[in-house]
């Protein structure tokens, strides 16, 4: 009986094996970042945002401090300007007071009323000039129609020499500051004889007339 021998050097047929190794669990796709890389990237982005937030906050606090300093400077400048204006006015008033003292001293030494009167006239001129430099000036009231925006009637004057409602007495001058009323004039207003000289406005039977405001004045 013949025996068959397997040829040497030839492998026996069997199940085919894959040339590539099997992919293990958790393998990353090409170009994907690992968890460690993602955490590192997020931490870097967070640090950049924190730095930007800190810089923005610092700029805000600096701007706030600058604004506060500017407000303080503006307030101080306004106070200094007001103080300067008041100081100038007070110095001018002191000069008038000095002249009044001189007039009184001269009248006492000389004993003449005319000297005192001349000193008082000088002081009156100085005061009027001071007010004029500040924009203060009197306005005409006599023989003008009564206007509650400019005048304050303190009494009625029965008369036939003027029409009813015309100012016939100026008891206290009125003054304006620029185009605005500073102080209304206190006046007596003509009324019909027999109506009674009561305290009040231009027409008979009216109550007290109050000074109005801003009629005819510029803003």
**Together in a domain, 44 and 116:** yes
Structure-block tokens of residue 25 = 């669990």
Domain count, the chain: 2
**Together in a domain, 186 and 129:** no
| pLDDT tens per residue, range 173-208 | 999 988 899 899 999 999 998 765 444 444 333 433
Of the three residues 111, 134, 157, the one that is the final residue of a domain is: 134
**Together in a domain, 129 and 43:** yes
Question: What is the CATH classification number for the domain harbouring 156?
Answer: 2.30.22.10
Asked whether residue 215 is domain-assigned, the answer is: no
**Together in a domain, 63 and 93:** yes
Domain coverage including residue 168: 137-191
**What Å distances lie between residue 191 and 20, 80, 186, 207, 208, CA to CA?**
128, 52, 16, 13, 14
Which pLDDT band, with edges at 50, 70 and 90, does 96 fall under? confident
Q: How far apart are CA 178 and CA 131, in angstroms?
A: 11
Angle subtended at Cα 142 by Cα 141 and Cα 145, rounded to the nearest 5 degrees:
70
Whether the model pTM is above 0.85: no
| Pair 32, 26: CB distance under 8 Å | no
Q: How far apart are CA 68 and CA 70, in angstroms?
A: 5
């Amino acid at each position: 009986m013949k025996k068959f021998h397997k040829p040497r050097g030839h492998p026996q047929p069997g199940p085919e094996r894959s040339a590539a190794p099997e992919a293990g669990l958790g393998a990353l796709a090409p170009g994907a970042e690992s968890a460690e890389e993602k955490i590192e990237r997020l931490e870097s982005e967070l640090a950049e945002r924190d730095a930007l937030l800190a810089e923005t906050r610092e700029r805000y606090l600096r701007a706030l401090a600058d604004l506060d300093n500017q407000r303080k400077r503006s307030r101080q400048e306004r106070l200094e300007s007001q103080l300067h204006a008041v100081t100038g006015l007070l110095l001018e008033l002191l000069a008038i007071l000095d002249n009044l003292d001189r007039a009184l001293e001269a009248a006492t030494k000389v004993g003449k009323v005319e000297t005192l009167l001349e000193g008082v006239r000088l002081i009156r001129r100085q005061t009027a000039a001071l007010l004029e430099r500040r924009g203060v000036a009197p306005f005409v009231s006599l023989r003008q129609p009564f206007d509650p925006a400019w005048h304050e009637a303190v009494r009625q004057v029965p008369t036939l020499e003027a029409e009813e409602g015309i100012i016939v007495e100026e008891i206290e001058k009125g003054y304006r500051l620029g185009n605005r009323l500073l102080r209304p004039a206190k006046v007596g207003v003509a009324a019909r004889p027999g109506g009674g000289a009561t305290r009040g406005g231009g027409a008979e039977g009216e109550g007290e007339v109050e000074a109005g405001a801003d009629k005819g004045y510029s803003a």
